[in-house]
Amino acid sequence: MSRYEGSSVAYDFHVVRDIDVAMRDGTKLSTDVYLPALGGKPLEGPWPVVVERTPYDKSRRVSHSQSGRFFARRGYAVVMQDVRGRWSSEGDFEFLRNESSDGYDTLVWIDEQAWSNGKVGTIGYSYTAADQQSLAITDPPGLVTQQLFDGGYNYFTKTFRHRGACEYAIFLQYVLQMARQSKEAAADAEVRDALDRMWANLGKWVRRLPLRRGESPLRLLPKYENWFFDMLTRSDYDAYWKDPSLNLEEAIDRYPDIPVFLETAWYGHHITATLTKYAEMRRRHHTPKKLLVGTWTHGMEHFVESWAGEVDFGPEAALENVNDLRLRWCDQYLKGLDTGLEREPPVRIFVMGGGTGRRNLQGRLDHGGRWRDEQDWPPPGMQPTPYYFHGDGSLSTEKPAKEALPSGFTFNPADPVPTVGGNFPEKAIPGLLDGGGFDQRGRSDLILCQDTLPLSARRDVLVFRTPPLAEGVELTGPLVVRLWVSSSAVDTDFTAKLVDEYPPNPDYPEGFALNIADAITRMRYRDSRERAELMEPGKVYEVRIDPQATSNHFARGHRIRVDISSSNFPHYDVNPNTGEPLGLERRSVVAHQTVYHDAVRASHIELPVVPSRGK
């Protein structure tokens, strides 16, 4: 077989804008259709169809209208649609609640069009990945393949809430941004101006934790304010969260057995969700599933970047054109072309690390890395290995002594550990939240940082680190932290962060502590996500924390480090330690925390060691 070149540019394109497609309740959704054309006239086809349904404006050049032109010129009909209640579409917007029925009705409409050959593939990123999932479980006509890029799985366990905590700043900025772009704001200049002023001062609003109903400009758009407070205060895993339109975990058995391409990144927002979907689909299905994991932060525009935050992974980390990647999948499963996909390993991951460790010309740490193919996720041969915490601050595979004394710290909700980097969009909230990899120290451009000292120097952060590594160690796979803890409070949080600690060099004379993965667990939900149960002060509890998976080469001379604390703000909301209803608290108390690491209560992190690939 000759080398696959992809569907060539054989056509011009013709677009018909703002077609009103009626849903079952009469609501009309505004839809653009891109068709192959010659001489300025659309060609009859019929064509395989590519669909994306979006809340972010179907006419937006980047990723929507650009994709429409790209695929139409290569022999596809392309349907771009504003979801209910957004931009040019009628109705009221509710986050993901209408996407199952509206998506189904849209595919029924497509199936009736003369330009459709009856084969539909869906594409999308983030929300537009999630609405693909809502569509898929309805078993719509014509759906033969999907491409799910960095989208959620269960928005309660990860994304909006996280093991009982709320991903506060991420969600607040998202709701506010959606409100600013709403039809209601577009129709009322005073409302839009008020929301714009809130956006310009979002850092200050985030610090006013908790935000109270009726106190911010969100009150001018009650639907959006209600959405925010539902997500903030509904802390039990109940019917609100279990709606299959919002929660694929509850409907995964209904997913059709079709080829699915999944993408995420180690600093993406939906890494856990995407890896879980891949594993669950592979376990249930027979058709091909493809997994791609890069290094980018959340956002389609970041595929072309080789960096995340202040860390660079080398030029090969970047993807030159994501549409070329998507075209290959469409050619295989919509046109039936042999693109070679099914002869390749199903998993392709970027293994971070192995760079020079120096500052590159762009001022970023050269962390380096390389792409690698795998037969599955987690990769075969990975060995879960416990590394134990010790009272002297060491981290090792040696179990702690029988009578080892515990470690302790004091957590003051009024002085939380600031978030420095992580799994969210780059520049998510300028001056407050910046996604990607960063040296774990205070920064002058982050308003929650009181200084530029290392976070490890804070008295409310317990640090456990290995000696400098004699040989490199690759960690590729899931991470689990198991702690035995007690507290003076009836409720509190425990956080964990995995760090790649560089030794000093001329560019970084104090070294560089690179955040690899982090997570949180709210103690009232330590045993059950359905029902909160407060703690008994002083009683010892076992608790599990699940940082997102990773693939990172810890080079020789580096240290593997784990930071344990009780806050990571504003990524996660701060626990007031009082046991009051979450998001509605009126007071806070200081909590005195104890972490046990003796032979019986051996707190540790389980690391996914790939021994044969360490360098």
Question: Roughly what angle, to the nearest 10 degrees, separates helices 168-180 and 222-233?
Answer: 170
pLDDT band at 1 (very low <50, low <70, confident <90, very high): very low
Whether 2 is covered by a domain: the verdict is no
In the structure encoding, which two tokens stand for residue 57, read together?
Answer: 């404006």
pLDDT value at 290 more than 50: yes
Could you tell me what percent of the chain has a pLDDT over 70? Answer: 99
Which 3-state string (H, E, C) describes 405-470?
CCEEEEECCCCCCECCCECCCCCCECCCECCEECECECCCCCCCCCCCCEHHHCCCCEEEECCCCC
Whether 108 is covered by a domain: the verdict is yes
pLDDT value at 2 more than 70: no
In the structure encoding, which two tokens stand for residue 180, read together?
Answer: 């600013």
pLDDT band at 317 (very low <50, low <70, confident <90, very high): very high
Residues 103 and 84: their CA atoms lie apart, in Å, by 10
User: Residue 297 has what pLDDT?
Assistant: 94
pLDDT band at 5 (very low <50, low <70, confident <90, very high): confident
Last residue of a domain, one of 206, 241, 276: 241
pLDDT band at 430 (very low <50, low <70, confident <90, very high): confident
Q: Looking at the structure, tell me whether residues 280 and 314 fall in a common domain.
A: yes
Residue 97 DSSP SS3: coil
Calculate the CA dihedral of residues 239, 243, 244, 245 and round it to 10 degrees. Answer: -170
| Residue-wise pLDDT tens digits, 207-238 | 888 899 999 999 999 999 999 999 999 999 99
Whether 429 is covered by a domain: the verdict is no
User: Residue 208 has what pLDDT?
Assistant: 84
Which 3-state string (H, E, C) describes 458-513?
CCCCEEEECCCCCCCEEEEECCEEEEEEEECCCCCEEEEEEEEEECCECCECCCEE
pLDDT value at 587 more than 60: yes
Is residue 139 left, alpha or beta, with left meaning phi > 0 and alpha meaning psi from -120 to 50? Answer: left
Residue tagged 């709606």 (tokens)? 243
Average pLDDT of 337-359? 97
In the structure encoding, which two tokens stand for residue 478, read together?
Answer: 């899931």
Residues in the chain: 615
| Residue-wise pLDDT tens digits, 562-579 | 999 999 999 999 999 999
pLDDT value at 561 more than 60: yes
Average pLDDT of 98-111? 98
Q: Looking at the structure, tell me whether residues 359 and 324 fall in a common domain.
A: yes
Contact 84, 23 (CB under 8 A): yes
Q: Looking at the structure, tell me whether residues 458 and 533 fall in a common domain.
A: yes
Q: Looking at the structure, tell me whether residues 110 and 182 fall in a common domain.
A: no
Average pLDDT of 237-248? 93
Average pLDDT of 305-309? 96
| Domain harbouring 406, CATH code | 2.60.120.260
Residues 576 and 168: their CA atoms lie apart, in Å, by 14
Whether 354 is covered by a domain: the verdict is yes
Whether 424 is covered by a domain: the verdict is no
Q: Looking at the structure, tell me whether residues 608 and 527 fall in a common domain.
A: yes
Q: Looking at the structure, tell me whether residues 365 and 289 fall in a common domain.
A: yes
User: Residue 207 has what pLDDT?
Assistant: 84
| Domain harbouring 52, CATH code | 3.40.50.1820
pLDDT value at 4 more than 90: no
Q: Looking at the structure, tell me whether residues 361 and 390 fall in a common domain.
A: no
Find residue 209's DSSP bridge partners: none
Whether 341 is covered by a domain: the verdict is yes
Last residue of a domain, one of 194, 216, 241: 241
Is residue 449 left, alpha or beta, with left meaning phi > 0 and alpha meaning psi from -120 to 50? Answer: beta
End-to-end CA distance of the chain: 37
Q: Looking at the structure, tell me whether residues 62 and 120 fall in a common domain.
A: yes
User: Residue 615 has what pLDDT?
Assistant: 44
Q: Looking at the structure, tell me whether residues 333 and 193 fall in a common domain.
A: no
Q: Where are the alpha helices (DSSP H) in 234-339?
A: 239-242, 271-284, 322-333
Average pLDDT of 275-295? 98
Could you tell me what percent of the chain has a pLDDT over 90? Answer: 91
Domain range holding 206? 161-241
pLDDT value at 356 more than 90: yes
Q: What are phi and psi of 135, to 5 degrees?
A: -65, -45
User: Residue 61 has what pLDDT?
Assistant: 72
Q: Are strands 480-487 and 307-308 parallel, antiparallel or unpaired?
A: unpaired
Whether 287 is covered by a domain: the verdict is yes
| Residue-wise pLDDT tens digits, 390-417 | 999 999 999 998 889 999 999 999 999 9
Residues 317 and 306: their CA atoms lie apart, in Å, by 5
pLDDT band at 62 (very low <50, low <70, confident <90, very high): low
Q: pTM for this structure? A: 0.96
Whether 338 is covered by a domain: the verdict is yes
pLDDT value at 614 more than 60: no
List b or e across 512-550, with b for residues whose CB sees 16 or more CB atoms inside 10 angstroms. bbbbbbbbbbbbbbbeebeebeebeeeeeeebbbbbbbb
Give me the number of domains the chain comprises: 3
Radius of gyration of the chain measured on its C-alpha atoms: 25
User: Residue 141 has what pLDDT?
Assistant: 96
Q: Looking at the structure, tell me whether residues 604 and 571 fall in a common domain.
A: yes
Q: Looking at the structure, tell me whether residues 145 and 51 fall in a common domain.
A: yes
pLDDT band at 611 (very low <50, low <70, confident <90, very high): confident
In the structure encoding, which two tokens stand for residue 595, read together?
Answer: 């972490």
Calculate the alpha carbon distances from 537 to 397, 486, 540 in Å.
31, 7, 9
Report the sign of the C-alpha dihedral through residues 522, 524, 528, 531, in that order: negative
Find residue 308's DSSP bridge partners: 311
In the structure encoding, which two tokens stand for residue 306, read together?
Answer: 């080789």
Last residue of a domain, one of 340, 374, 408: 374
DSSP 614: -
Q: Looking at the structure, tell me whether residues 181 and 122 fall in a common domain.
A: no
